[in-house]
Amino acid sequence: MNSYGKFNLIIMIFALVLTFPVLAFSQADTLSNAGKDTDQGNESPASIHSLYTGVGAGSNMIYLGSSISNDLPFYSASVTYGYRNTLFASASASHLSETNPYLAFYTLALNYSHAFNSWFDISSDIAGYKTAESLKETLFSDFAFVNLTTGFDWKLIYTRLSFGGLISEADGIYLQVSNSRYFETPEFIKGKARISFNPDIDILFGELVMIETATGTRNYGASPPFRHFMKNPNNSTETYSTKFGLMDFEFSLPVMFSYGNFSIEAEPSYILPVHSNPDYPATRGFSLFLNAFLKIF
């Protein structure tokens, strides 16, 4: 099956999932139920502050359409502090399979979110990635990413528009359009457990590199984030330019099981790049991420 056949098949599967009639709840309502519309004047210290710890593993870590784990499996541990279920600060450390030193890179992130009403919310976040010195040449240079997201709840579909800026050796602007539908099963096991689903389709726009040869042939490729685009020194007849355009599609189906303060999530995903350049092959194919976290308080 070629790329177009796979794309059509995935679109059909997600169309069926997004219209599946299972006790659907709007994304904004879910945020409100998590505590965004509580009477803050009557909040106890326990409801104001929260602390989570988690562990995760995945077959490949995809970020802005590219692999930052060098296509290797990864393992992570994290801790997150929350204030009024609106402001979150988190730190994590990640290990890459068969890579030394053991901790390949660290992440610090700060996120703020606010739901204005049942159909509109916003969030903003900044995340910084710090790589071990010995891995900067083979993995990626240190970078930060600033992001602003607006969410619109159409009841059947929840749409997010995310505008982000990359701060690294090669700065860049990104736009991501996401459409998802959150739904969950009724509670079971004495009302302590539930299963939720959030199928999602992401469309990523960013900086593309256009390589034009002397014969007039044009090849497009995604500019590799976190480092400069390297021109071919052995081919002086090629000219290089950049433009903002469509980079890839990503399809994911996160499934989460929650019991009390404990949750475990599995997220299979498929990334389909729009452009393919033999000199800069784009990340494509399936990946799987598993995450478990515990709310301490």
Give me the mean pLDDT over the 137-147 stretch.
90
Give me the mean pLDDT over the 34-45 stretch.
44
Most confident range, picked from 11-25, 56-70, 86-100: 86-100
241 confidence band (pLDDT: 50, 70, 90): confident
Give me the mean pLDDT over the 247-264 stretch.
95
pLDDT for 218 equals 65
More confident residue, 114 or 171: 114
pLDDT in tens, 1-15: 544 454 455 445 444
Q: Give the whole-angstrom CA distance, residue 228 versus residue 170.
A: 5
177 confidence band (pLDDT: 50, 70, 90): very high
Q: Indicate the range of 144-158, 190-204, 206-220 predicted with least confidence.
A: 206-220
Whether 104 has a pLDDT exceeding 90, the answer reads: yes
pLDDT for 18 equals 45
108-117, Cβ contacts within 8 angstroms, sequence gap of 24 or more = 111/87, 112/86, 112/87, 112/88, 113/31, 113/86, 114/36, 114/86, 115/28, 115/31, 115/32, 115/36, 115/37, 117/28
Percentage with pLDDT > 90 across the chain = 57
pLDDT for 26 equals 32
Whether 33 has a pLDDT exceeding 90, the answer reads: no
Whether 44 has a pLDDT exceeding 90, the answer reads: no
Domains in the chain, please, with CATH? 3-37+49-295 (2.40.160.40)
pLDDT for 159 equals 97
Tell me the whole-structure pTM to 2 decimals. Answer: 0.80
> How high does pLDDT run on average in the chain?
82
